[in-house]
Amino acid sequence: MEAFDPAELPELLKLYYRRLFPYAPYYRWLNYGGVTKNYFQHREFSFTLKDDIYIRYQSFSNQSELEKEMQKMNPYKIDIGAVYSHRPSQHSTVKLGAFQAQEKELVFDIDMTDYDDVRRCCSSADICSKCWTLMTMAIRIIDRALKEDFGFKHRLWVYSGRRGVHCWVCDESVRKLSSAVRSGIVEYLSLVKGGQDVKKKVHLSEKLHPFVRKSINIIRKYFEDYALIGQDILENKENWDKILALVPETIHDELQRGFQRLHSSSQRWEYLRKVISTPQNMKNDKCGPWLEWEIMVQYCFPRLDINVSKGINHLLKSPFSVHPKTGRISVPIDFQKVDQFNPFTVPTISAICQELDVVSTNDKDKQEHEAESESKHRVRDYKKTSLAPYVKVFEQFLENLDKSRKGELLKKSDLQKDF
C-alpha cells in the first residue's frame, strides 16, 4: 500500500474530488429514487476544511451542484446530517423554530477507543489485526439484531477510515423514526454499561433474553482465538485480577491458587468455568454460568456511542470521505466477507491517485484521437483503481434499495386498484 504523507493531502484531494469520488452512486443513494420531493435538496452536508474550518448547513439542488462545490472546497472531511423542513443552506432565513430535522437514517458508530479497558494490544487511536476482531464481532452482533429482531432490511456498514465502523440503516420507515424510538433501539442493543470507574459493566442472570443469548453465541465463535490467544486475557496476575474483579469474592482464593498452577489463558479459562459451576459454589446464588457470559460480554460485546444514534440531527462522517490522518478512504464493508475485511488493505488516497496516474499515462496514447467529456472520463476512473470493488459493494446495496422501493410502489398501486 502506497505510504501516505499528510502534507500532500491538499493536492491529492483535488484529484480525488475531480476524478475519483463516486458521485453518481452517492447521489443515487441520498436521493432515494426521488420519491419524496426535495429529499436530497433538504439534506444537510457539513464540510471540514484545512485547519479544522468547519462549515455546517450546506445543501445542494442536484448532483452537479454537489460536485462543483466539493471540487471547489476540497473538504478534508464530509459529514452527512438530517433531511430538514427547509433547505439547510437557507436555514438563517427561516423563522425561529420552524427549521426542523425531520428524517435521517438510523446510524451507529462503534469506535475502538471505547474498548481501551479490555484490549491489551493497542490503545487510543491505534489498531492492529488482533483487536480488529472486536469490530468484526460488533458488526455481526448488531447486524443480526437489526435484521432479525427489528426486521430492518437495508444496512450499510462502512469503515471509518481509522479505528472504527459505522452502520447506516436506510429503510424508508426507519428514516422516519423519532428520537425516542431510536433511543429505545440503542438501549436494546447496549449491554456494557458504566464509565471508567465502574469495574463490572455487565449484569446477566440465568434466564437470558434471546438477543443476549444469540450475541453470546456469536462471541463464542471468536472468543478463544481473540481473547484467550490473541489478547491473552489471563496471561499474568495483573490481567487475571481484572477478571477476578468481575466474579464473587467467595471464589477469589480458589481461582488465585488454580491460576498460579496453570500455564496459559486457555487453561485458566477452563478452570474458571469449572469453579463457577461446581455444586458447592452454585449453592450460593452468586455463582453460575452467567458469570462466564458476563466476562465474555464485557470483553467482546459492541460498545455503541448512544448519542450518535438517538439524535436525528446528529452528523456522521460520510462514506467515501478521506481520513486526514491515515489517508484511508471510508469504504463500505461487504457484509458477506466481514471476516476477511482488513482495515490495513483499504485503499489510501495516495495509492488510488498513484494508480490513476499509471492508468492515465497508459490511456494517453489511446485517447489522442478521442475527445472525451470529463464526466464520462470520470465514471470509469474509480473503476480503474483499487477503490472499484468497494464502490461495487455500495452499488449492490443501492440495487437492493431500488428493488425494495419498486416493490413498495407496486404494492401501493395494487392496493389502489382493489378499491
List, by residue number, the catalytic residues: 44, 109, 111
CA–CA dist 124, 113 (Å, integer): 5
Q: Read off the C-alpha cell for 400.
A: 437492493
CA distances from 28 to 34, 74, 174, 409 (A): 9, 21, 18, 18
> Which residues have CB under 8 Å from 202's CB, separation 6+?
191, 192, 193, 246, 294, 297, 298, 301
CA–CA dist 145, 151 (Å, integer): 8
CA–CA dist 247, 252 (Å, integer): 8
> Which residues have CB under 8 Å from 65's CB, separation 6+?
none
For residue 3, with 0-12 CB atoms within 10 Å meaning exposed, 13-18 middle and 19 or more buried, which class applies? exposed
> Which residues have CB under 8 Å from 141's CB, separation 6+?
215, 218, 219, 301, 302
CA–CA dist 191, 137 (Å, integer): 14
Nearest to 144, CA basis, from 206, 197, 93, 218: 218
| Half-sphere CA count of 8, side-chain side, radius 13 A | 15
**Adjacent-strand bridge partners of 144:** none
Q: Read off the C-alpha cell for 349.
A: 488516497
CA–CA dist 25, 377 (Å, integer): 16
